[in-house]
Amino acid sequence: MKELDVEKTNGQLKQLINCELVGVVFYTLCSQEVTGPNRIPIVNFFKTQATESLLHAQQVGEILTGLKDHQTYKFLVKEFRVHPSFAIGKNTQDTSGHVRWQYD
């Protein structure tokens, strides 16, 4: 069996944590942008996804700690060019260039 390359593994785990934490932010933003009369199931879906991403980040963090390393939280969340306003039906583009979906 091959020896574990701890440095490479730690680097990949740190990238994974960053991806999961960006997912937490993205899904949370999505849940706050849904509009319309039937928005609750969609909001609940996005909140569930955010919670799942957070759980994954915590699990990876535990593995990283077990390998005697720690995460440095230097991730950036850039502005989403396609606005995370989700809806089914129509979409419009506002003056800033963001696309917004309206749930009907």
Would you say residue 62 has pLDDT above 90? yes
Strand partners, 102: 90
The structure tokens listed for 62 are 């535990």
Q: By the 8 A CB rule, do 34 and 89 touch?
A: no
Q: Is 32 left (phi over 0), alpha (psi -120 to 50) or beta?
A: alpha
Give residue limits of the domains in the chain.
6-103
Q: How far apart are CA 75 and CA 16, in angstroms?
A: 11
For residue range 20-38, list pLDDT tens digits in order: 988 898 899 889 888 888 8
Is the overall model pTM greater than 0.75, yes or no? no
